[in-house]
C-alpha cells in the first residue's frame, strides 16, 4: 500500500509540474500579445524553471527578446528551441531575423535555406532570402526567390522584383559574383535606370564614407562589342581626372571567348578631394546585352600580392547567367 501511495504521489507531482509550466507559458502569451515583452519574459522564465524542455517557451521568450533588441539572448533561445526540435521552422526563421537585424546578412542564409527546405511556402522566407541575396550581389538567386514568392502569392514579391530585378525578373542576362559569406558584405548603395545598374558593397560594420574594402558592380545596358583595351583605358582615364598620379597595370585578358574579359589594376596615391590612397582591381566582361564593369578596392597605395591573387580568382569565378 505504501508503494502504491508513493506512485500516486509521483504521478500527481508530475501532473502539477506540467500544469504549472503550461500556466506560466499561457500567462506569458497573454502579456506577449499585449506587447508587455518584459512581463512575458518573466512568465517564460518561470515556465522554463519548471520544464527545461518546453520549446515553445524558449521560442516565445526569444521573440520577446528580439522585440526589445536583446539579440544575444534571442539567439540563444531560438538555438535552444531548434536543439529541442530540429524541424522547428519558426525558430529557424526567427534566428535568421536576429542575424538580419544586426546586419549579419550572410549568417542568416543557412537558417533561411533550412526554412525553405522544410516549407517553401513559409511566409516571407523567400522574400527575405531574396533581399539578402541581392544585398550580397547574388542578383540571379534573388530574382529566383522573388519569382517563386510571387508564384506562392506573397504580396511583397512584386515590389522586390521591380526594385532588384527590373526588366530581368523573367528573362535577361546578369553577371553573378559570389561575394564570400565570411567577409560579411552588405549593399551600401544600389541604383538602376534604363541605361545602367550599379551596386556598391561594403562590410557590414562599415559605412560608405568610411570603408576599408569596397566592392563595385555595374552593368551598362545595351553596350556591346567593346574592345577590352578600350574599356580598360576608359576606366583609367576616368580615374586620372581625379588623380593625376594614378597608375594603370594590365594583368590579363581573353578576347577569344564568347564573352571577352580583362583584368587590370588602377592604383592612386590620392585624389583631388581625398588625400587617402586607393587601389582597385578591375574585372570587365562583355555580355550579349550589356558591358559589366566591376572592381574591388582597398584604402592602400598598392594591392598586396596575396590580396591581388585572391581577387583575381574571385572575379574569374564570376558567371554570366541567362533566364
CATH number at residue 97: 1.25.40.10
The reported pLDDT for the residue numbered 252 is 97
The reported pLDDT for the residue numbered 19 is 53
For residue 61, what is its C-alpha cell?
Answer: 521568450
Same domain for 119 and 198: no
CB 197 within 8 A of CB 221: yes
The reported pLDDT for the residue numbered 9 is 39
CB 111 within 8 A of CB 141: no
Examine the pLDDT at 246 and tell me if it is beyond 50: yes
Examine the pLDDT at 65 and tell me if it is beyond 50: yes
Same domain for 215 and 160: no
The reported pLDDT for the residue numbered 281 is 98
The CA distance from 249 to 227, in Å, is 17
Q: Work out the pLDDT band at 291, boundaries 50, 70, 90.
A: very high
Which of 71-80, 144-153, 162-171, 239-248 shows the lowest per-residue confidence on average (mean pLDDT)?
162-171
Last residue of a domain, one of 168, 201, 222: 168
139: phi > 0 → left, psi -120 to 50 → alpha, else beta; which?
A: alpha
Domain count, the chain: 2
CB 217 within 8 A of CB 198: yes
Mean pLDDT, the chain, integer: 86
Same domain for 138 and 59: yes
Examine the pLDDT at 4 and tell me if it is beyond 60: no
The reported pLDDT for the residue numbered 1 is 39
Same domain for 185 and 69: no
Examine the pLDDT at 6 and tell me if it is beyond 50: no
Residue with cell 506560466: 24
Same domain for 267 and 209: yes
Q: At what angle do helices 55-67 and 37-50 cross, to 10 degrees?
A: 160
Q: Which residues are paired to 248 by β-bridges? A: 266
Q: Helix, strand, or coil here: 6?
A: helix
Examine the pLDDT at 229 and tell me if it is beyond 80: yes
Examine the pLDDT at 23 and tell me if it is beyond 60: yes
pTM equals 0.54
Same domain for 155 and 195: no
Per-residue pLDDT, averaged over 283-301, amounts to: 94
Last residue of a domain, one of 168, 195, 222: 168
Examine the pLDDT at 16 and tell me if it is beyond 70: no
In tens, the pLDDT along 203-221 reads: 988 888 899 999 999 999 8
Same domain for 97 and 193: no
The CA distance from 311 to 309, in Å, is 6
In tens, the pLDDT along 119-135 reads: 988 888 999 999 888 87
CB 31 within 8 A of CB 40: yes
Same domain for 156 and 222: no
CATH number at residue 309: 3.40.1000.10
The reported pLDDT for the residue numbered 17 is 43
Same domain for 228 and 127: no
Percent of the chain with pLDDT over 70: 91
Examine the pLDDT at 233 and tell me if it is beyond 50: yes
Last residue of a domain, one of 122, 152, 168: 168
In tens, the pLDDT along 252-283 reads: 999 999 999 999 999 999 988 889 999 999 99
The reported pLDDT for the residue numbered 168 is 46
Q: Report the DSSP pairing between strands 213-221 and 196-203.
A: antiparallel
Domain that holds residue 318: 174-322
Q: Work out the pLDDT band at 157, boundaries 50, 70, 90.
A: confident
Same domain for 43 and 97: yes
Examine the pLDDT at 201 and tell me if it is beyond 80: yes
Amino acid at each position: 500500500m505504501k508503494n502504491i501511495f508513493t506512485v500516486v504521489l509521483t504521478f500527481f507531482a508530475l501532473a502539477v509540474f506540467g500544469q504549472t509550466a503550461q500556466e506560466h507559458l499561457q500567462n506569458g502569451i497573454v502579456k506577449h500579445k499585449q506587447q508587455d515583452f518584459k512581463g512575458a519574459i518573466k512568465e517564460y522564465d518561470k515556465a522554463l524553471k519548471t520544464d527545461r524542455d518546453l520549446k515553445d517557451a524558449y521560442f516565445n521568450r526569444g521573440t520577446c527578446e528580439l522585440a526589445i533588441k536583446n539579440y544575444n539572448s534571442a539567439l540563444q533561445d531560438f538555438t535552444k528551441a531548434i536543439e529541442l526540435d530540429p524541424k522547428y521552422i519558426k525558430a529557424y526563421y526567427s534566428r535568421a531575423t536576429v542575424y538580419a537585424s544586426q546586419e549579419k546578412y550572410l549568417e542568416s542564409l543557412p537558417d533561411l535555406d533550412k526554412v525553405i527546405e522544410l516549407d517553401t511556402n513559409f511566409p516571407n522566407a523567400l522574400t527575405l532570402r531574396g533581399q539578402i541575396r541581392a544585398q550580397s550581389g547574388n542578383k540571379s538567386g534573388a530574382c529566383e526567390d522573388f519569382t517563386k514568392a510571387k508564384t506562392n502569392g506573397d504580396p511583397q514579391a512584386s515590389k522586390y522584383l521591380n526594385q532588384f530585378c527590373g526588366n530581368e525578373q523573367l528573362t535577361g542576362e546578369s553577371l553573378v559574383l559570389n561575394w564570400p559569406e565570411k567577409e560579411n558584405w552588405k549593399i551600401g548603395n544600389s541604383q538602376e535606370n534604363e541605361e545602367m545598374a550599379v551596386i556598391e558593397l561594403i562590410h557590414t560594420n562599415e559605412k560608405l564614407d568610411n570603408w576599408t574594402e569596397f566592392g563595385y558592380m555595374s552593368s551598362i545596358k545595351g553596350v556591346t562589342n567593346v574592345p577590352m583595351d578600350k574599356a580598360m583605358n576608359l576606366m583609367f582615364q576616368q580615374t586620372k581626372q581625379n588623380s593625376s598620379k594614378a597608375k594603370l597595370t594590365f594583368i590579363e585578358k581573353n578576347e577569344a571567348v564568347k564573352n571577352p574579359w580583362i583584368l587590370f589594376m588602377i592604383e592612386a596615391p590620392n585624389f583631388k578631394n581625398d588625400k587617402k590612397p586607393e587601389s582597385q582591381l578591375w574585372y570587365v566582361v562583355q555580355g550579349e546585352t550589356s558591358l559589366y564593369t566591376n572592381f574591388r578596392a582597398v584604402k592602400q597605395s598598392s594591392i598586396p600580392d596575396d590580396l591581388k591573387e585572391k581577387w583575381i580568382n574571385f572575379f574569374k569565378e564570376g558567371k554570366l547567367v541567362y533566364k
